[in-house]
A and B are shown apart, each in its own frame.
Chain A
Amino acid sequence: MAKPIAPEIVKTIDDFIRPLRTALWLERFRQRLASCLPFFAVITILIGLVHLFLQSLLPLPAAILACSPVLLAIIQAARDRPTMLEAARCVDARIDNNSLLSTGVELIHGRRSADSPFAIYVLRQTADSIPYWQRRIRRDTRRPTTPYFWSHMLIASLGFFFLLQPGAVKGPADSAAELDWEPVTEITPSRHQASLFDEIEKRRVGRQSENPFSSNEADFSNKAGNTQKAAGEIEEKANVMLMAETKNLTQLTGQNIGGQPNGRRLEATARRRQGDNGIGREPDNNPSYPGDDKEMTAPINLTEIPLTPGKTTYGDSAVDAFAASLMTLPKSPVDVDISTFSSGSGSGYANRFSPAQQQYIKDYMNKLQARK
């Protein structure tokens, strides 16, 4: 005699098995993660050591590579969702149940309907046993421990720590990457130094308008005597401007303004730059420069700070070239620490500029030294 399965029995069994199925899924998730932990730790520490001692690696791709076993494990676990029957079998195995729960689940969700009296009896027996099983499962709270979990995590953390350290050797790609990232916060306040170049440019333009027929080569020897003096004047003027604006900023806010360092720091930076050359650019203004200097390859930006044109000076071509090299820097607001340029050894800036830029800086520094 065929009888349908009572809905309450189906509901009771399904309600019991669903959370267990989720728990089994999470457990598989944990197992897969635990199985990939050694690989994760080994790959991370290897990448970290390579980065630290052999070659500088880009942090993001290296981190992705190190995490690839974990990612694979997560993907695999996400795809491996247990069925109700699998969950029931796991419960049966755990509480030594003689396959009663899995039989009940298969009678409900199996390919053949459970209409025999014995099948209905098994289902009823399953539903009646569920409270007892719940108590058993609740009591049996053994959580399998992951062997060496903390040691693996420690090794992996060490690997990431190495990865975050600056590498021993830096390739061109890395320098480019650093130009994109690190110097961004250092080169900004050169607005004043840009104004210095602006001043140079204006005076040069004025000189050219005064003597439009003289060539650079011919003028150079005449202008050379005046160059050092003019440069000294410009530097002094720029520094005075820096100090003045820094004081204003400090009085106004005393805090960060538009993401810039605070006034006190600006002031300190300006003081530190007293003896240095003013260099830099304004990022957004870049009219083309119709200069006569052959080395000038990029336009010099104009600043909004009005400077009273002083006496005509003849800009050094090296200064122009250096300014041009700075024009090729990223447009982001930057803040150049001038102290690194004044060291002369090149170690400070060697890693922050491309070889061409480094060469320009070296030339400029050499010429300044020669002039002094």
Chain B
Amino acid sequence: MNSPETLTDIHDRIVSFQKDFVRLHNNLARVLIGQDEIIEKLIIALLAEGHTLLEGLPGLGKTHLVKALAGNIGVSLSRIQCTPDLMPGDITGSEILLKSVDDEHVRIDFRRGPIFASMLLVDEINRTTPKTQSALLEAMQEKQVTCAGTSHPLPQPFWVIATQNPIELEGTFPLPEAQLDRFLIKLQINYPSADALLDMIDCSLDDEPANHAVAILSGGRVMEMIQEAKNVVLTDFIKNAAISLILATHSERANADKTAQHHIRYGASPRGLQALLKTARIKALSDGRAHVAIDDLEAVALPVLRHRIMLNMESELDNIAADDVLQQIIQSWRNKPNNLYT
């Protein structure tokens, strides 16, 4: 039967996961002060093997955070600063002709681009052209790069963390929907509080904490944590509730939320549903639970869905934010019996 060792072992694994999660969180919180929720969601996306889009004004520490994260988990980090003249080959790599010293042997070799790293920081992704942006599509979804008919697998795990500036729109290329949908979550970094700013000055005025980040988790341990999260119990009730929430964003459906019918042109995709459940599993495990609860879904719903819905023209002109619309939908969803739209 259920031997005590086995159950104790599972318990220990869950506790260990929780401890590592908290440890990583605390370490990052010392680098990016006053952004605890952003850090938590970033780690959730990391352990769900998802890509993250960080949006925030310049100087809020986005790049800093990603560098600290890579340093703390001991994985390789590549950084691409996007510009309008950046070409896809600059990211993925390209084939070059190689000659031997005696010029007798000539061969074409694939020179790997910066994308071949476990963590890729794509800074100001909306400054590059759609052509270059699209070069990331295959890498993000298939975790491989195809060049001249040859596919080159990317290292495992592979994360893309992109940043973008929401206010400087001139000379930028907003990400297409297909590109946006490939990001597991989108985090919006806001200004920290006065207390947080004071703490930040104390610890980072003359120094860069991210430069001193030491690996507290190995890459192998991170992979174990990723695998552990896949064991978390997802009941049919939770799955149905998640489906209900996703469908509530579809304005064309009869059982869509009233807010969605008024403001949303396109709702969240099935990939959004997968993202919702994946991140909810990590959230549950980080709270020391082996099962997902409705609260987990609610906690991750906003960062998972905010970039997957498209507002209609009237709402865009009225400057209605997608977050406000989603928050109303989530609130309505929580108030429904059994969290189901019928």
List chain A positions with a Cβ less than 8 A from chain B: 3, 6, 85-86, 89, 98-100, 102-103, 106-107, 110-112, 114, 116-122, 124-125
Question: How far apart sit A99 and B295, CA to CA, in the bound complex (Å)?
Answer: 9
Interface residues of B in 6-44 (CB under 8 A from A): 6-7, 10-11, 14
Nearest-neighbor residue (CB-CB) of B290 within chain A: A118
A125–B293 touching, CB < 8 Å: no
Which residues 81-109 of B have a CB within 8 angstroms of A? none
Across the interface, do A120 and B7 meet the contact criterion of CB distance under 8 Å?
yes
Q: How far is the CA of A100 from the CA of B338 in the complex (A)?
A: 15
A112 vs chain B, min Cβ distance (A): 8
Partner of B289, one of A98, A112, A119: A98
A116 to B7, CA, bound (A): 11
285-299 of chain B: CB within 8 A of chain A: 287, 289-295
Q: How far is the CA of A125 from the CA of B2 in the complex (A)?
A: 12
- Residues of B contacting A98 in the complex (Cβ-Cβ under 8 angstroms): 287, 289, 293, 295
Assembly CA distance A112 to B238 (angstroms): 14
- Contacting residues, chain A, for B6 (C-beta < 8 A): 117, 120
Q: Select the residue from A3, A98, A107 with max chain B CB neighbours within 10 A.
A: A98
Question: What are the 4 tightest A-B residue pairs by CB atom distance, in nearest-first order?
Answer: A99-B293, A103-B291, A98-B293, A121-B10
* Cβ–Cβ contact A121 & B7, under 8 A: yes
Say whether, besides A100-B291, A121-B7, A122-B291, A6 and B235 are in contact (CB < 8 Å): no
Binary contact readout B276-306 vs A (1 if CB under 8 angstroms, 0 otherwise): 0000000000010111111100000000000
B290 partner, pick from A102, A112, A121, beta carbons under 8 A: A121
Which chain B residue lies CB-closest to A116?
Answer: B231
Chain B residues lying within 8 Å of A107, measured Cβ to Cβ, are 233, 235
Residues of B at the A interface (CB closer than 8 Å) are 1-2, 6-7, 10-11, 14, 231-233, 235-238, 287, 289-295, 338
Residues of chain A within 8 A of B11, CB atoms compared: 121
| Set of chain A residues within 8 Å of B291, measured between Cβ atoms | 99-100, 103, 118, 122
A39 to B81, CA, bound (A): 70
Known: A117-B10, A118-B10. A106 touches B235 (CB 8 A): yes
User: In whole angstroms, how far apart are the Cα atoms of A151 and B134 in the complex?
Assistant: 70
B233 touches A119 (CB 8 A): yes
Between A and B, 11 residue pairs with Cβ closer than 8 Å are A3-B1, A89-B338, A98-B289, A98-B295, A116-B233, A118-B231, A118-B233, A120-B2, A121-B11, A121-B14, A124-B7
- In the complex, A118→B7 CA distance in Å? 8
Cβ 8 A contact of A106, one of B232, B237, B338? B237
On chain A, the residues within 8 Å of B231 by CB distance are 116-118
Minimum C-beta distance from A113 to chain B (A): 12
Q: Give the residue name and chain of the A residue nearest to B231 (CB).
A: A118
Minimum CB–CB distance for B91 against chain A, Å: 39
Minimum distance in angstroms from B298 CB to a CB of chain A: 12
Please name all residues of chain A whose beta carbon is closer than 8 Å to the beta carbon of B292 when the two chains form the complex.
99
Q: Chain B contacts of A6 at CB under 8 A? A: 1-2
Residues of A close to B10: CB separation below 8 A: 117-118, 121
- Write out the residue numbers on chain B whose beta carbons fall within 8 Å of the beta carbon of A100: 289, 291, 293
B1 & A102 in contact (Cβ 8 Å cutoff): no
Closest to B288 in A: A98
In angstroms, Cα B287 to Cα A82, docked, is: 30
- Cross-chain contact A85 with B237 (CB below 8 angstroms): yes
Expressed in whole angstroms, the Cα–Cα distance for A125 and B236 within the complex equals 19
CB distance from B268 to the nearest CB of A (A): 23
Chain B residues near A120 (CB-CB < 8 A): 2, 6-7
Q: Assuming the A-B contacts A121-B7, A121-B11, are A110 and B233 also in contact, with contact meaning beta carbons closer than 8 angstroms in the complex? A: no
Contacts of B237 in A (CB 8 A): 85, 89, 99, 102, 106
By beta carbon, the residue of chain B nearest A97 is B293
Contact assessment for A99 and B236 in the assembled complex, using a CB-CB cutoff below 8 Å = no
Q: Within 8 Å CB of B7, what residues of A?
A: 120-121, 124
Which of B2, B232, B236, B295 is A124 in contact with, Cβ under 8 Å? B2
A124 CA / B3 CA spacing, docked (Å)? 11
The answer to whether A106 touches B295 (Cβ under 8 A) is: no
Q: How far is the CB of B177 from chain A (nearest CB, A)?
A: 33
Chain B hits for A118, CB < 8 A:
10, 231-233, 290-291
Residues in B neighbouring A89, C-beta threshold 8 A: 237, 338
Within the complex, what minimum Cβ distance (angstroms) separates A114 from chain B? 8
Give the distance to chain B from A81, nearest Cβ to Cβ, in Å: 16
Q: Whole-angstrom distance from the CB of B187 to the nearest CB of chain A?
A: 25
Indicate if the CB atoms of B233 and A111 lie closer than 8 Å. Answer: no
Minimum CB distance partner of B285 in chain A = A118
Hey, which chain B residues are within 8 Å of A106, CB to CB? 235-237
Contact of A122 among B1, B233, B294 (CB under 8 A): B233
Known: A6-B1, A121-B7. Is A110-B236 also a contact (CB below 8 A)? Answer: yes
Complex Cα spacing A104 to B6, Å: 18
Residues of A within 8 Å of B293, CB to CB, are 98-100, 103
Give the chain A neighbours of B338 by CB distance below 8 A: 86, 89
Give Cα A100 to B1, complex, Å.
22
A223 nearest CB across to chain B (Å): 88
Instruction: Note all chain A residues with C-beta closer than 8 A to B294.
Output: 99
In angstroms, Cα B287 to Cα A99, docked, is 13
Which B residues lie within 8 Å of A85 (CB)?
Answer: 237
**Cα–Cα distance between A125 and B289 once the two chains are bound (Å):** 10
Which B residues touch A116, using CB under 8 A? 231, 233
Interface centre among B2, B238, B291, B293 (most CB of A within 10 A): B291
State in angstroms the CA–CA spacing of A89 and B236 once bound together: 13
Q: Chain A nearest CB: distance from B5 CB in Å?
A: 11
A302 → chain B closest CB, angstroms? 75
Give the complex CA separation of A81 and B160 in angstroms: 50
Shortest distance from the beta carbon of B13 to any chain A beta carbon, whole Å: 9
Complex CA gap A119/B295 in Å reads 19
How far is it, in angstroms, between the C-alpha of A103 and the C-alpha of B289 when the chains are bound? 11
Instruction: For the complex formed, measure the closest distance between the CB of A71 and the CB atoms of chain B, giving whole angstroms.
Output: 25
Residues of B within 8 A of A122 (CB): 233, 290-291
Give Cα A112 to B236, complex, Å.
Answer: 9
A118-B233, A118-B290, A124-B7 known; 19 new pairs, CB 8 Å cut-off, are A6-B2, A98-B287, A98-B293, A99-B293, A100-B293, A102-B237, A103-B235, A106-B236, A106-B237, A110-B235, A110-B236, A112-B236, A114-B233, A116-B233, A121-B14, A121-B290, A122-B290, A122-B291, A125-B290
